[in-house]
Structure 1
């Protein structure tokens, strides 16, 4: 029996409840053995799934130590985890997961003179880089997940990235680490000169025993290591035994980098910083195909770029199909294969000069590539977004089979890249597989997401056959199976092809020195599972297929299929400059990410772990703090639409059951709003009178800290009916009197009416106010919502059949007609017309070329989250720019109110924490002369109730400018 199999046998008899109790008593942190948490951590960004025993989120380094002590007493295996973005299955296991990412996020020291930094394992890469850039220093390796991946994960995987051409792998940039073994030996490791090595061994103890074993291992295999290790810049597969060689300083820290949590747990690390050229210039070269682009890599490396990336035509084709960064793609020069060559310098002039020297030499060739030099920082960023969108572009492509990892980061010597890619494409074709080719061409690393069929017996067999041939090919080219993602479970089985049986035995000995009990991430790298074991899908994947209210037209009509959109890349874990997920930004909880919620839904549909289907308490728990902001539908690289999935789940969960009070008070605001609009004095008496308002809020499930919105004394529709209005002779437009502006802020509708008339438009106002369509969706009242949406479409159809635009001031209402309406009724012809003709005023003005009036000053602008996610937020920004105002947008994501979310008593605190991330402090700090503008009712309410400022709607601002006599 192998050590892995022995561990699996021991797990069967483990008392998980006793382990949980012991951990709760011993550790300063969060101990979670509930099913929700276990579902959240059952997978990463890979093809693999293993239900963990439990999860610990340690608050201190000592907590990590105590966690290991308790786990050892109970014989429980452990796996360390950071951002959970691993693609090879190394951060999921049937073990206790130690998540370092929530609390162990400290940058302990930065020494600009020595060019070093000391970090805890949960520090996010960009968190450190933002601090070190103040000294024109950076941490060189920068994976595409740099906004949210942690140092612990980078050390575990030996990560690289775009700029490793100037700095090397993570192993090349780690100076020292403090680590702890499963049996509790805590030590600092780093370069170990021979005299120090002798001293450590002589001191004895467990540390001396380890170092003695390392010396013996090194001496036994030194010549074989020198001979068999590939001499390429991106050798990541296997263990770094070459770093133990005397000529490499016997660097134990670097030898442990890339061991994927199978040997030790990292407590902190001292890392090397490199000079960060403050100026960058991007040169993009177009070639007839990606193969000829690869042929010229070594030639371009001679110009000493700081980054050299490649893209193929298929990646761009996928991006166009998905309408992903369409303006960015247009910036590429002519070609069907591209190289992105970045040059750095101390000044922009220096960087430009390097690029121009390269262009000059390339231009003198017989068949020069097409060339485009980017000197504008904004355009450079747009082109880099094309490259960094590789994963999103190649996943869930319409009309293309689903793509999966499994063979996504092999590397070969850069000088052999062209021939390799031609042979690799032929291999894909032989196996009937589709994959775009892109990646770090300057170091011979190729990324691809391949259309493996992981659902059928034949497909899995083809997957295994492909891996067998692909590993043969890379070994023949003298390459590495992994160039930055590690081996984990997906490639480790093949390491003997690359290193031979003797060195694979050396890997085993290396692990056993550090982890003699084989409890550290068992089954990964050494004595690994096969690539077809523990599959998240596989031949036993047969998800429940319930009837749904939404139609999911882009996901084969299936919600389980829609949930598979989440590929686990973790972009929803960004904690700065992020749209999604607002609740994660406030809590740093995996449960509050789009990925986390998708994982729990996946388990619900799979049904073998979470088996309660629509009655699942775990899913309800995960969705509790989803704000339905729709940020994920745009910000997620694969467009996961959690707001829709939440509405669907809530519909079924509460069907034929009582809902929370807030659902009736705010989900049915369309009923109460009509009554309040007719009798505003009575409604305001109930909602504003001391004592009575507390009762009203309690009955309605509203937080006592909130003020009830005040009904206007007269609604816009009431005012409009009794006021004479000129018919007008211009182009007709319909001004949609949504409930919120009509009953609470009628001045916005009046301002829009006057503004549109000043532009010569004939403004039509419906005879009766259309129904409120957004609130019942957010509470999962989908039958009621469908009825109200069809009612609204029926009231609008006389206008849209004549091609009359529908202008809506409330973005969340406009978003219903543009997003939910086609998802609920994809074949409804009048519905299609309404969707096509629904606009915000800003969108309409942009489309019609209407020039806004001029206005001087500064504007603090907050677009509604549905406006940013589903509409066209650039239209408002362009109008503001043309007005001549200096624009500030202090918060990229939701304000925290999110419709009625921030009113609910259980959600008030998190709502305020979200608002305080940027928006509310910025409003308080704004000058009295600054204009505060927010188009969404909920956004204006959050600002109004949390600051001393009353925000305006954009139409009010433009009308003000006109009244001040400023011409367009």
Structure 2
């Protein structure tokens, strides 16, 4: 649809119709437009509006409203597409938030019917207990939607399982029926195998009969060309490009539903999908085989497939090196078989309904490997999680491919564009060297990995998309690559679709007659061309609408942090989000992103926030810079939990971006009162410590307590934590300082929370260190790392605090004295924020290197621990997980004799002072309910709850669990008091 046509749309009428007929959210605002202007591709197109329907009737109503004013439409799921098919100058319909229903599993028919927003992995969790799964599982399976799978004709890591043991490799092969709505608002169901009913359907008339009649005529005219131009799925399992016109052939059964799969929202919108299911084969073993290079790894693909694996993936050396340098999946990487000359690996997974059956398949394959000269040092086996193994850890190497190759250590950004071409599997060994030579000819680089068992190669490439010459090279390479894959009888896309990225090149694969047939197919469904225009057929150019491009020049205002991973460039730090949506995983087993998990709203995901920050710098949609209300609103529910710094595949650092934004947003303006009350909590606590008993009485007696909370901006449902009767440093001075004067020195950092509130924790930690022979020292004057100040962007004050800290600790850190942190969030400041705020201060670097979490120090130095009996449930502070992890804590608990397990995922929801802020109590608890609070409530009364974070312990106490959590130091002290050795 042209720009002229867009300007002719009655936007006021469209807004009125949508508002009157849709029960979900209807948004024409800059924030929504900014968030939905991009997906995971290279393209940017600002939508007309965004609708988040609550019901299927809402979706139909949107189509009717757009029909009445001639507005284009774009249905969208999770928005992780890499080809630009989920961005357009259209009314975007986001089905992912509410339209997530999963129906009952029909075990006999092996089917399940789901709404388009149902998440791929959640569908499999629903079908798994019946021994069935939906075969296609892209690497984004934890958050991508079935509607997106249908739109792209997705495949995935285990589509080989569906190919060998189920209906077929692609989503189209695994669809039995679709409930659809067309651009003009007509709703009906389309199915498969309808050749015998075709006359009756046409005779019944209506929009469906009209479409079916036209499709039959199309099929009959072009049948011979379709048969000649469409290779069978057996020959080319990953043919995803173009429309599935072959599904209309009489010998195929006139499968209209399957013909619609892969049309990328250009023909109709899916309201429900009935899916065919595959045997789950949950007893699995992963065999990893090391090879000299990728071509060598392809030598026996056909023979390996004959053994019946459920997955067959390939990895190259560059991918492994990237993850090693980025410190991703390190434990799993160390377990890969590796010789000095090995540059490639195959991941061959076998599955069965029984463990013995799986073992038998693996043994036959291993014997074959041995017969073909593969020694044991080139092979490693990993059992499934169900069988006590950890093959899922190895799969994370493969699933992390996109993130680890986006911004690799070579400093050159890598982008999609030719990331999923496919050839017949037996020709993969010929194709890869030719493709690598093409990279070299164009001066390009990129890691290669992918679905080798089905001939599909993934690769992000270091295209220069910022200069005119770079964009010309980008286009020239893609044109040559299209010619190359076509010469192999392959497909431009083997998984991600055409969108705008490859649609312009489809003539290389199909030729003019089939392209015209595809245009006719679209016109039959969408005569006015309003469904996702400019994608797949009659496409916009692949070098138009680039998010970057030669004209890109986002603002680069002066900033306070260093952004070392982005060359000091705040714009690049925001651009770092590649859109794969891992922050949208609605799984309590993950930390990132707690506010999205609680709300389901895109603006409260790391991705949504990063996009808005970049749009703020771009200035075309969000044009008020640091003063932006749209960005502020999105960041307001960011807990600064640091989950994104470790869980995000490209390590978007939203807490730092938030602090930077707030610093500039409030420049020369007053902040809300809670920013000062909580940001300078160290000063308030310092005053309260002069008369803690009086302050505690006042904060628990009305009306004084209510007045204090109102003055500080504390939510009325919260209780102000009690102040310690004797602060930690005062206790330390009164006892005469540390023991063991001849022992090695260690600084115990007296953070505000364990100094003025939980002083008993600090006392316990001092005694634990001294029991190991260490001489504990502690700053005598008031010090604070300034952690709460970051959350409100008070960065000038933070710098003052940190410079004082460095002055106090200078002699110690220059001597290499360990600085032990009791409170994880404060230790994390030394590890992360300090060097980014003072990047050229050598003492800051020294403090970073000296700083260590208490539990890490306990295990590193093997401090003596008492013996305890029973069970312990460990909860890790988010900042602790992001700056070291919980392995030392678990090790210490187990060394004490406890049966210890970790509560995985989520955030406590308090996040420092965030959950104390007025109006945030309820959402704070919703975050906590994702993982922590249910686990604590469900724990046996005799089970110890262990949590080192002050906010975590406070949330547990104030959320009605009836439990009190212990710091590891307190637990050690309890054991000693009990007299246990």
- Indicate whether the TM-score tops 0.5: yes
In structure 1, the partner of 2:303 is 299
Instruction: Give the CA deviation at 1:884.
Output: 3.0
- How has the CA–CA distance of structure 1 residues 871 and 361 changed in structure 2, closer, same or farther, with 3 Å as cutoff? closer
SS at match of 2:129: helix
| 1:264-289 C-alpha deviation (Å, 9 max, x unpaired) | 00010110111111210111111111
* Separation (CA, whole Å) in 1 of partners of 2:30 and 2:11: 13
833, 839, 845: which one aligns with 1:820: 833
Instruction: Give the CA deviation at 1:932.
Output: 1.4
* Separation (CA, whole Å) in 2 of partners of 1:195 and 1:291: 47
| 1:756-784 C-alpha deviation (Å, 9 max, x unpaired) | 11222211122224224101111100010
* Separation (CA, whole Å) in 2 of partners of 1:966 and 1:193: 76
| 1:402-455 C-alpha deviation (Å, 9 max, x unpaired) | 000111000001111011000100000111111001000000000000000000
In structure 2, the partner of 1:148 is 143
* Separation (CA, whole Å) in 1 of partners of 2:186 and 2:325: 53
**Is 2:980 aligned against 1:961?**
no
| Contact 1:52–1:96 (8 Å) recurs in 2 | yes
* Separation (CA, whole Å) in 2 of partners of 1:680 and 1:475: 78
Structure 2 gaps, min length 5:
163-168
In structure 2, the partner of 1:285 is 289
In structure 2, the partner of 1:709 is 721
| Contact 1:562–1:640 (8 Å) recurs in 2 | yes
Deviates more, 1:676-685 or 1:458-467: 676-685
**Is 2:440 aligned against 1:445?**
no
| Contact 1:853–1:883 (8 Å) recurs in 2 | yes
- How has the CA–CA distance of structure 1 residues 291 and 195 changed in structure 2, closer, same or farther, with 3 Å as cutoff? closer
624, 630, 639: which one aligns with 1:618: 630
Mapping of 1:880-899 within 5 angstroms?
880-899=893-912
| 1:356-400 C-alpha deviation (Å, 9 max, x unpaired) | 211211212256692222247444222111111101110111233
Instruction: Give the CA deviation at 1:179.
Output: 0.5
| Contact 2:866–2:980 (8 Å) recurs in 1 | yes
Mapping of 1:152-171 within 5 angstroms?
152-167=147-162, 168-171=169-172
In structure 1, the partner of 2:165 is none
**Is 2:843 aligned against 1:830?**
yes
In structure 1, the partner of 2:278 is 274
| Contact 1:630–1:870 (8 Å) recurs in 2 | no
427, 439, 442: which one aligns with 2:438: 427
- How has the CA–CA distance of structure 1 residues 851 and 397 changed in structure 2, closer, same or farther, with 3 Å as cutoff? farther
**Is 2:247 aligned against 1:246?**
no
Mapping of 1:191-230 within 5 angstroms?
191-230=192-231
| Contact 1:851–1:882 (8 Å) recurs in 2 | no
Mapping of 1:661-740 within 5 angstroms?
661-724=673-736, 727-728=739-740, 729-740=742-753
* Separation (CA, whole Å) in 2 of partners of 1:532 and 1:376: 44
| Contact 1:177–1:268 (8 Å) recurs in 2 | yes
- How has the CA–CA distance of structure 1 residues 159 and 944 changed in structure 2, closer, same or farther, with 3 Å as cutoff? same
| 1:545-585 C-alpha deviation (Å, 9 max, x unpaired) | 11000011121111001111100000001001221110000
* Separation (CA, whole Å) in 2 of partners of 1:815 and 1:27: 46
* Separation (CA, whole Å) in 2 of partners of 1:73 and 1:622: 33
17, 28, 33: which one aligns with 2:23: 28
**Is 2:319 aligned against 1:315?**
yes
* Separation (CA, whole Å) in 2 of partners of 1:521 and 1:851: 66
606, 626, 646: which one aligns with 1:634: 646
SS at match of 1:730: coil
In structure 1, the partner of 2:617 is 605
* Separation (CA, whole Å) in 2 of partners of 1:189 and 1:757: 74
Deviates more, 1:693-702 or 1:44-53: 693-702
* Separation (CA, whole Å) in 1 of partners of 2:777 and 2:583: 42
**Is 2:147 aligned against 1:133?**
no
- How has the CA–CA distance of structure 1 residues 296 and 791 changed in structure 2, closer, same or farther, with 3 Å as cutoff? same
* Separation (CA, whole Å) in 2 of partners of 1:376 and 1:144: 18
- How has the CA–CA distance of structure 1 residues 266 and 376 changed in structure 2, closer, same or farther, with 3 Å as cutoff? closer
* Separation (CA, whole Å) in 1 of partners of 2:859 and 2:524: 67
Instruction: Give the CA deviation at 1:808.
Output: 1.1
- How has the CA–CA distance of structure 1 residues 163 and 861 changed in structure 2, closer, same or farther, with 3 Å as cutoff? same
* Separation (CA, whole Å) in 2 of partners of 1:201 and 1:825: 73
Mapping of 1:719-798 within 5 angstroms?
719-724=731-736, 727-728=739-740, 729-798=742-811
| Contact 1:815–1:871 (8 Å) recurs in 2 | no
| Contact 2:906–2:930 (8 Å) recurs in 1 | no
**Is 2:579 aligned against 1:568?**
yes
Aligned length in residues: 962
Instruction: Give the CA deviation at 1:107.
Output: 0.5
49, 57, 62: which one aligns with 2:57: 62
TM-score normalised over the length of structure 1 = 0.98
| Contact 1:647–1:777 (8 Å) recurs in 2 | yes
| Contact 1:738–1:769 (8 Å) recurs in 2 | no
* Separation (CA, whole Å) in 1 of partners of 2:938 and 2:393: 32
* Separation (CA, whole Å) in 2 of partners of 1:139 and 1:248: 22
| Contact 1:141–1:160 (8 Å) recurs in 2 | yes
339, 346, 352: which one aligns with 2:353: 346
| Contact 2:500–2:535 (8 Å) recurs in 1 | yes
In structure 2, the partner of 1:77 is 72
In structure 2, the partner of 1:374 is 382
**Is 2:580 aligned against 1:579?**
no
* Separation (CA, whole Å) in 1 of partners of 2:743 and 2:731: 23
* Separation (CA, whole Å) in 2 of partners of 1:134 and 1:852: 43
| 1:689-746 C-alpha deviation (Å, 9 max, x unpaired) | 2111111111211100101111122211112222245631322211111111111111
* Separation (CA, whole Å) in 2 of partners of 1:237 and 1:553: 40
Structure 1 gaps, min length 5:
none
Mapping of 1:895-910 within 5 angstroms?
895-910=908-923
110, 114, 124: which one aligns with 1:115: 110
- How has the CA–CA distance of structure 1 residues 454 and 924 changed in structure 2, closer, same or farther, with 3 Å as cutoff? same
In structure 2, the partner of 1:12 is 7
* Separation (CA, whole Å) in 2 of partners of 1:374 and 1:950: 39
* Separation (CA, whole Å) in 1 of partners of 2:721 and 2:767: 25
| Contact 1:178–1:266 (8 Å) recurs in 2 | yes
| Contact 1:413–1:478 (8 Å) recurs in 2 | yes
SS at match of 1:247: coil
* Separation (CA, whole Å) in 2 of partners of 1:761 and 1:50: 61
In structure 1, the partner of 2:891 is 878
Instruction: Give the CA deviation at 1:649.
Output: 0.3
**Is 2:937 aligned against 1:924?**
yes
* Separation (CA, whole Å) in 1 of partners of 2:827 and 2:879: 9
| Contact 1:670–1:772 (8 Å) recurs in 2 | no
* Separation (CA, whole Å) in 2 of partners of 1:562 and 1:278: 40
SS at match of 1:271: strand
* Separation (CA, whole Å) in 1 of partners of 2:330 and 2:869: 33
**Is 2:175 aligned against 1:174?**
yes
| Contact 1:717–1:769 (8 Å) recurs in 2 | no
* Separation (CA, whole Å) in 2 of partners of 1:199 and 1:726: 91
| 1:126-183 C-alpha deviation (Å, 9 max, x unpaired) | 1111111111111100000000000000000000001111211100100011001011
* Separation (CA, whole Å) in 2 of partners of 1:953 and 1:29: 45
| 1:895-952 C-alpha deviation (Å, 9 max, x unpaired) | 0000000000132221111112221222223222111111111111111111222211
TM-score normalised over the length of structure 2 = 0.97
| 1:841-870 C-alpha deviation (Å, 9 max, x unpaired) | 111122223353332212222111100112
| Contact 1:843–1:872 (8 Å) recurs in 2 | no
SS at match of 1:182: coil
Instruction: Give the CA deviation at 1:890.
Output: 3.4
* Separation (CA, whole Å) in 1 of partners of 2:819 and 2:895: 24
